[in-house]
Structure 1
Amino acid sequence: MKYAGLFLISLLLFGNCNTINAVNSNDTKAVTQSELEGTYAVTSLYGNDVSEYKLTLIFNPSKKTLSGFSGCNSYSCNYNIEENSLTTSFPIGTKIHCEETSAVEKDFFKIFSDEKNPKLDGNTLHLINQNDQKIIVAKKIL
């Protein structure tokens, strides 16, 4: 009887561990190059609503380029996804100065230096930094 009790306790402990691992593996599903293809409208940047600035991310997996609009300027860079980590080259862009959007644009360009983990939830893209902070939330529009 004593061994039966130990067996049941062990079964419960290991059973719970497997459940936790299954949930975590679903949360960290790798995003592929082709899954990101399309145009996304950025709705949130570092937790702030930026919908009014019409920021965009355009992923082109065949050329491995990321481009779009940063609030005042257009930009383009190369990107790569390996082991669920999105890395980007330093972006090139136009050099127009817009006083009303300069702070948002400065924050937006910070994303290119951060390591990002992309996650897709339906048509919503989340870019999450190493501190588990959502740095971008964007809705697929095309």
Structure 2
Amino acid sequence: MKYLKSLTLLITIMLFACKAQQIKTTDLSSGEYNIISINNNDVSQHELTLKVNAEKNLITGYSGCNNYRFNYKESKKQLDLGFGVSSKMYCKDTQAIEDSFFEATSNVKAFKQSKTSLELLNSKGQVEVKAVKIN
């Protein structure tokens, strides 16, 4: 009987430990990325960047002309970027790219992250922004 109680306790602890570990894997993880596409348009030649600081719930980077920042909220792969802020320079050659980036980020509701990439998704699960991790 004592053996059965110990076994039951051990199994219960293992189940809770596994559940806690599963929840943690859904969090947006810190990393540095190069943005390669916005709405399936290749922007890799413009060297746009995205850096996630998970400890501060902060996304920062370069959007083609200006630096930007989002203070995000997330839970279970749902992502709310809120309102972003950026510097205010006008760059004739890259303004359209930057405008498309901010329009895309305004539609972001979720994310999909792997060891090598980050996709920011809209409410339909379509990729708004795709980025690859910098080694």
TM-score bracket, normalised by the shorter chain, equals 0.7 to 0.9
TM-score, normalising length: structure 1: 0.72
One-letter amino acid of the structure 2 residue matched with residue 59 of structure 1: V
Quote the residue 2:26 is aligned against: 31
- The answer on whether the counterparts of 1:85 and 1:115 sit within 8 Å (CA) in structure 2 is no
Q: CA-to-partner distance for each residue in 1:61-80, whole Å, 9 max, x for gaps? A: 11111110000000112012
- The answer on whether the counterparts of 2:118 and 2:130 sit within 8 Å (CA) in structure 1 is yes
Quote the residue 1:89 is aligned against: 82
Runs of 4+ in 1 over 2 A off after TM superposition: none
Quote the residue 1:25 is aligned against: none
- The 3-state SS of whatever aligns with 1:42 is strand
- The 3-state SS of whatever aligns with 1:136 is strand
Distance 2:112 2:83 in 1: 22
Quote the residue 1:119 is aligned against: 112
Change (3 A) 1:126 1:112: closer
Number of paired residues? 112
- Residue 137 of structure 1, CA deviation: 1.2
- The 3-state SS of whatever aligns with 1:108 is helix
- Residue 131 of structure 1, CA deviation: 2.3
- Residue 40 of structure 1, CA deviation: 0.7
- The answer on whether the counterparts of 2:108 and 2:128 sit within 8 Å (CA) in structure 1 is no
One-letter amino acid of the structure 2 residue matched with residue 56 of structure 1: T
**Could you list the runs of 5+ residues in structure 1 that have no partner in the other structure?**
1-29
Quote the residue 2:42 is aligned against: 49
User: What does 1:3-42 correspond to in 2, within 5 Å?
Assistant: 31-33=26-28, 35=29, 37-42=30-35
TM-score, normalising length: structure 2: 0.76
Q: Which of 69, 76, 83 lines up with 1:76 in the alignment?
A: 69
- Residue 129 of structure 1, CA deviation: 1.1
RMSD between aligned residues: 1.8
- The answer on whether the counterparts of 2:35 and 2:44 sit within 8 Å (CA) in structure 1 is yes
